[in-house]
Chains A and B, each alone.
Chain A
Amino acid sequence: MTELEPALRELRSTCREVAVDLRSRALAVDARPLEMAAHLDSETLTSLRTASTPRRFRDCDDSLFGASYTGSCLARVVANAELACGDAGILSANTGASLAGLAVDALGSDDQQERFYRAIADGRTWTFFAMTEEARGSDASAMQTRLDKDPGGGWRLNGAKRYVANAVRGGIGVVFARTGPSALTIRAALVQLPAAGFDAHLLDMIGLRGACISGLAFDGVRILPDELLGSHLPASRRGMWGAGRVFNVMRAQIAAQALGVGFAAWGYVREQRPGWSGLDLMSARLAAARALLYDVAATIDGSPGDRRSPSIAKLHVTDLAVQATRWAEYALGPGSLAEHPLLEKWCRDVFAFEFMDGTSNILRLNIAPVPARQGLAS
């Protein structure tokens, strides 16, 4: 079992404290996700942005969270579980590096990282990470969005993406596309907006509305040579290799957010029914899931290419979180969803984690033993 070092215990404690502020904003963001002006300058969201920015790109260094928030996968997991217990929706509604930052950190050159983090330094810029396509889901190897050679130099981005958080209001992001038919030709492009040929529209989703999940279309968007991430890396490490490592951290982080929602539902029932004996089983299941997640995060820190461990964590925790919200619904009796709008919101939000970065069936394919030499899912 992974024991947290003092710095991580302090991080967890800080996140628990600020989660209260996140929760106080949750229903407003769910109702009006495009109206973020009242929230972005709050100490909590400002500190979260600062903490998710590498130290060398920070304008100030007074984040509530110190340096440890993005220092390791374990730190990300510890923080995200506590923050999402406040509310996951507003976490996804914040400006800042987010998942695109993970990709830029993994695949970007120093200059590209500089460009990315300078672009978001104003605290008003959302980022986006565009991988999923309508007909292909999370099967990244089958993606159809193309980077076509531009006779004038560089590339032209053509195709479409779907289910991309915050793209409709994004300022800069990472878009995956292919320059040719093989897996090695899948590359990530840094796209800064506005850009001719780039179109984004908001998708109306059942929950996690703070994420402003969007659809994207690219019609000859110009990508300059220095906007293709990973060119400084060996050919085998430019595209999906980097994305795969990003996915592993992402999956653990998403599992942590799902766990946070599960704990939120459990804690809400505890508040409504103090002393109720029915709390114990779900409490034990959630605590065990947290221990599993901590172990997995520590494993990823030591072995970032391991796909099986984060798949196990995400598969188990996202399912448990859905069960926890149902359990809470039943525990609070008839009319509980209409009477407790936070709980009702969590019941909708918790579905989102299933669809992020690997559905349950994709994860099962990663987890199941396969004969030697046989490939794995994405």
Chain B
Amino acid sequence: MLDAIAECEKAGYADGLAAGLAQALTGVDVLCPPGPVAAVPAAAVPAGAAVIGHRLADLEGISLVRCADHEPARGLTALGARLGAVRLGITGLLIERAVEHLSGRTAGGEATIRKQLVAGTLADALTATESLRQRLLVAGHVAVAVTDLHDRLNAIDWEVAKLLGASGYLACGPARGAYVARLIANCWIAREAG
């Protein structure tokens, strides 16, 4: 389990979302998500599956597949933990891009990255990702902890994307991966509606 978590984060960070998702889905029946739609690497879409087009997901090499009546796959909490690790890799990339972006800018004659509001946001994001990584290691088997982890990542990714300014809203930018990661989590994280 611990190795799988580390490998998933590494895959998400180094190889991208599709590669990370492929790693996370190892051994899972991809047509048995907790809801009516599965998110899978485009290369892994089963023949004849009904794909729901999504521009940003397509750009990340991810397909959304409609699944007929089915029982949810077993081991979804463990999958959620591995997917959380993939997302930590994507969030890490996003933070790196934000640091790069801010390091090259000045405001009022001072490096933007040194501004307290900015530095505080980055510090909070880094702190949160460290704590979430530990959570995966000690509570990756606890469904509610994993669901909450994905909700936290949705919030952290948005806070970091804001630091990129409007460039964080470009479909060709690093925030796209974070958004598609949210779409994937939306498909695979089991939660009671509401």
Contact = CB atoms under 8 A, between A and B. Distances in A.
Most buried by B among A213, A278, A334, A365: A334
A163 interface: yes
B118 A361 contact: yes
Contact of A331 (B56, B64, B154, B193): B193
B75 interface: no
Interface in B149-169: 151, 154-155, 158, 161-162, 165-166, 168-169
A322 interface: yes
B192 interface: yes
A11 B126 CA distance: 47
Given A132-B166, A206-B56, A273 B36 contact: no
B169 A135 contact: no
Contacts of A330: 151, 191, 194
Contacts of B39: 338
Contact of A137 (B52, B155, B165, B191): B165
A86 B105 CA distance: 38
A360 interface: yes
Contacts of A365: 117
Nearest to B57: A338
B183 A333 contact: no
B36 A335 contact: yes
Nearest to A323: B155
A359 B165 contact: yes
Interface residues of A, number: 40
Interface stretch (A171-179, A234-242, A292-300, A350-358): A350-358
A276 B105 CA distance: 47
A203 interface: yes
Most buried by B among A142, A333, A364: A333
A111 interface: no
B194 A335 contact: no
A45 to B, nearest CB: 24
A332 interface: yes
Given A137-B166, A204-B170, A335-B33, A351 B186 contact: no
Contacts of A42: none
B175 interface: yes
Given A322-B158, A354-B162, A207 B33 contact: no
Contacts of A359: 162, 165
Question: Lowest 10 A-B CB distances belong to which pairs?
Answer: A335-B35, A334-B35, A333-B193, A335-B37, A338-B37, A355-B166, A204-B171, A334-B34, A163-B166, A278-B194
29 contacts: A135-B105, A137-B105, A142-B107, A204-B171, A205-B170, A205-B171, A276-B194, A330-B151, A330-B191, A331-B194, A333-B191, A334-B33, A334-B36, A334-B188, A334-B190, A334-B191, A335-B33, A335-B35, A335-B36, A335-B187, A337-B182, A338-B39, A351-B158, A354-B162, A355-B169, A359-B165, A361-B162, A364-B117, A365-B117
Given A204-B172, A334-B33, 12 more contacts: A135-B105, A207-B169, A330-B194, A333-B35, A334-B34, A334-B187, A334-B189, A337-B182, A338-B54, A338-B66, A338-B187, A364-B117
